[in-house]
Each structure stands twice: as structure tokens, then as C-alpha cells.
Amino acid sequence: MRRTAPQLLVFALLIAIAHGQQGAVPVPTTVLSPIPRNLSLFEAERLLVERNLTLAAARFQVHANEAARRIAAYKPNPQLQLGMEQVPFRSPVPNSAPRFFATNSDAGANPVYTAQFGKLFERGGKREFRTRQADALVSVAAAQMDDALRNQLFALRQAFGNAILARDNLILAAEIDAQYAKTENLTAERVRAGDLPGIELYRMQAGHLQFHQAVIDAQSGYEQATRDVLNVLSAGPQDVVPDNSRPLAGVSAGEALKSAPLAVVGDFSDAAIPQTLEQLKDLARANRPDLKVAQANLRAAEYGLRLAQAQRSRDINVATEYQRVGDDDSVGIVTQIPLFLYNNGKAGIELAQAQRAAAEAQLHQLEVQIDTDVEKAYQAYLAARRSVALYSDENLKQVRKVRDITEFSYQHGAVTLLELLDAERTVRQAASSYNQARSAYQLSVWQLEQAAGRDLP
């Protein structure tokens, strides 16, 4: 069956729509792994890559830039133009169909049907520069994803380290509270035996309040720290599932630890960093993803400048045309060449030059910043190492020995309650300071690894 010009136009439009719909690809869904209640740092880092929404957004940006790169590499699509003009609505002959194709020399207008096929020819290497600029932007997105992983990994380690510190402080507070409770029970027995006046028991009970409060504060700190870990994992307490395959970390703290949504597993490391400051700077310059972002941005700006300069090369649009006017057929060629009367591309070149200069300045500033980051992290590492050296298991044993001697002396009436409380506070402060020093040392190592852009042996 022969199709009229309007039917051909509608048919071509439907084909174009159907072809566009074939390219639609459904977005895959991801099933997230559950979070075990007994969580180690190794497992948390694995879950970070899978669950963290900041990393997910960075991955989607990589996909978006890869799609933009494919779009930039496309050649301009040819254009098909179909037209229908000067078609009379009425026929001059009564009871006859309107005149769609026949020529009438007496008529003021004859039907005109036009089919034009045109193609744009880009000049000046625009497609090549556009593609290379898009390649650089893909590298930018990939490096940004690596940088997001670097920062989120440090945030997770920081939160996990805070949780370990809070757990150790909670265990310490619970142990001191339990130790003081034993002394209180012995005091009660001595009061009942008549060896001590009753006021001593009241003093003992009043002194116990601060240790109860220390347990409450430590428990609150631990629960908040575990929620910070879950927050970095883009999760909440409802995403944690019981894990009975391993014992609960810190069972000596009893119910205080069980009420938290997580039980962090692991301890701080006291391992030293073997690299020197200059070696760490070299590692940072070679591995920092934010430096790679700046370098890729500079490449993109350079190709953007070349693309802006190429815009001064005129593109040519060439079209072939078939036209039917009444009973006559004709063909023709149409060429379009832009005339740079109002915009000759000079402002675009100036814009691209400024953007390149800005990208270069940002790169040089980041190079300075990386050296500063490494130096600051290294100084913090050295200070934390000296702090850990002030405390040791032997020193803590000496402090605990003094407490035990004071407690024994109190039970035999040789020292006062105030001296016993002072000894208990000394033990708590020394042990708490030791925990804090080990936590600060571990954090300084993680901070140094973040500044270097890689894990250090």
C-alpha cells in the first residue's frame, strides 16, 4: 500500500522512538550483606565497600562519566527532514477529492513535498578533543571514588578505634567498680564484727557512687561509639544480626556491653612505622588519589582549551534534497556554513584558559598540602609513640600493686578511706591514660596511612 507524506513522517517518528527505547537498561539491584553483632575491623572494612552510600554515589558518578565519554565520542547524527507545503484544502471541481499531487497552472499554489537528508561535518579535531576531555573526566571520577574510599576508610577506622577505646574504658570501669564492691563488702563485715565504726560503711557507700557513675558514663560512650561505626557503614541497629559463633567481646563488663548494638572485636596495635618522613612523602605523591584527581582535572582543562580553540574552525552542514512540486520531481544540495558575526569563540578560549590556570594552581596547592599532611601526621605519630612509651604493662602493674597494698592496709586499719579512694582513682587514671595513649597511637598510624594514601607495613 502506498503511504502518503504525512504517514511517512509519523512512521519515521515512531521508528526513532522505538529505537531510543531499545537502549534502556534496567538498573541492577544490590543485596546488602548483614552486619554481624560481633564485628571486627577487617569485616567492617569489607562491609564499608559494599554498604557505604558515599562510595555508592562515587561509583555511580564513574558510570555517569563513562556514559558521558561514550556520548562525547559519538559523531553528530544525520538529520532527515520531511516537509509538506501548499496543500489545498478544497478542490475547485465540485464533488471531487482535494488535489494532493496534480499540478494546476491556474491555481495560486501547488503541493510541495520535500525530503532532505543532511549531515554535519565537524572540523578542527573537535570530536577528538571532546573525547579526550571526557576520558580525563572519567579518570577524575575514578580517582574521586578512590579518594572517597580513602576518607571513608579513615572515618571507619577512627570510629572503630573510638569504639575499642570506649569498650576498654567500660571494661576498666566495670572492673574497678567490682573491685571496690568487694572492698565495700569486706568493710561491711568488719563493721558487723565491730572492728570498724558504722560511719566507715556509710563513707564507703558514698565513695562508691563515683565508680557507679563511671560505669554509666563509659556505657553511654560505648553505645554512642558503636552507633558511629554503624553510621559510617550506612546502617542502623536494625541492620545488625546476632552472631553466636564467637563469644561476645568484653564479657567481663556484663550487661553493660550487651546493651550496645555492636560488640567490637579486636585491639590496638603497637607496631612501629618503618618508613622515614621523606619515604612517606614519596609514597603520598605516588598514591594520593586526590592528587590524581587534580592531575586529571588539569588534563581535562587542557583538552577543554584545545576544544575551545577548535570551535573557531567552521563546521559544515551538507544536505541532499528531493522535492516534488505538483507533478514535477527535483533534487538539490544544500550547504550551511556558520558566519562568526557575533561570537567568534574568543571568549570561550579565554574561559578555557582561565579554567586551565585554575586547575594548575589547584594541583600545585595540593602538592604543597600533601607534604604538609604527611609532616603533620608524622609529627603526631612521633608524639603518640612517646606517649605510649610513658605507659607500659610494668608501670600499670606497679600502680595496681600500690592499690592492692593500700586496700590490704585499709582492711587492717592501717590507712584511711580517703587514701584508699585516692589509690583507686590513681589506678583508674593510669589505666585510662594507657588506653587513651594506645588509642592515640593507633589513630596516628591510621592518619599517617591516610596522608600517604595507602596502608603501611
Residue-wise pLDDT for 250-284, tens only, equals 444 556 677 788 999 999 998 899 999 999 999 99
Nearest to 319 by CA among 114, 119, 122: 119
Q: Is 69 in contact with 296 (CB distance < 8 Å)? A: no
Strands 79-85 and 240-241 turn out to be unpaired
Report percent pLDDT > 70 for the chain: 82
- Placement of cell 612517606 in the chain: 280
> What's at 440, amino acid-wise?
A
∠ CA 69-74-75 to the nearest 5 degrees?
150
Q: Is 401 in contact with 439 (CB distance < 8 Å)? A: no
* 3-state class (DSSP) for residue 118: strand
Q: At what angle do helices 126-193 and 198-232 cross, to 10 degrees?
A: 170
pLDDT the model gives residue 102: 62
Nearest to 35 by CA among 292, 190, 180, 230: 230
Instruction: Report the chain's mean pLDDT, rounded to a whole number.
Output: 83
pLDDT the model gives residue 1: 42
CA atoms within 13 A on the CB side of 244: 0
pLDDT the model gives residue 118: 94
* 3-state class (DSSP) for residue 265: strand
Q: Is 77 in contact with 150 (CB distance < 8 Å)? A: no
In angstroms, the Cα distances linking 161 to 218, 230, 377, 444, 455 are: 15, 13, 17, 11, 16
64-78, 244-258, 434-448, range with the lowest pLDDT: 244-258
Distance of alpha carbon 271 from the chain centroid: 28
CA atoms within 13 A on the CB side of 350: 5
Grid cell in block for residue 432: 585510662
* Cα pseudo-dihedral 368, 374, 377, 383, rounded to 10: -110
* pLDDT band of 24, cuts 50, 70, 90: very low
Q: Is 395 in contact with 430 (CB distance < 8 Å)? A: yes
> Across residues 187-195, what is the average pLDDT?
78
- Examine the pLDDT at 315 and tell me if it is beyond 70: yes
Report, at the CATH architecture level, how domain 39-451 is classified. Answer: Up-down Bundle (1.20)
* pLDDT band of 21, cuts 50, 70, 90: very low
| pTM (2 d.p.) | 0.80
Distance of alpha carbon 249 from the chain centroid: 29
* 3-state class (DSSP) for residue 87: coil
pLDDT the model gives residue 100: 62
The Cα 83–Cα 12 span in angstroms is: 13
pLDDT the model gives residue 2: 41
Q: Which range has the top average pLDDT, 334-343, 372-381, 427-436?
A: 372-381
Report percent pLDDT > 90 for the chain: 53
- Examine the pLDDT at 66 and tell me if it is beyond 90: yes
- Examine the pLDDT at 306 and tell me if it is beyond 60: yes
Strands 240-241 and 35-36 turn out to be parallel
pLDDT the model gives residue 99: 61
> Across residues 296-313, what is the average pLDDT?
95
- Placement of cell 590507712 in the chain: 415
- Placement of cell 563485715 in the chain: 189
- 344 versus 266: the higher-pLDDT residue is 266
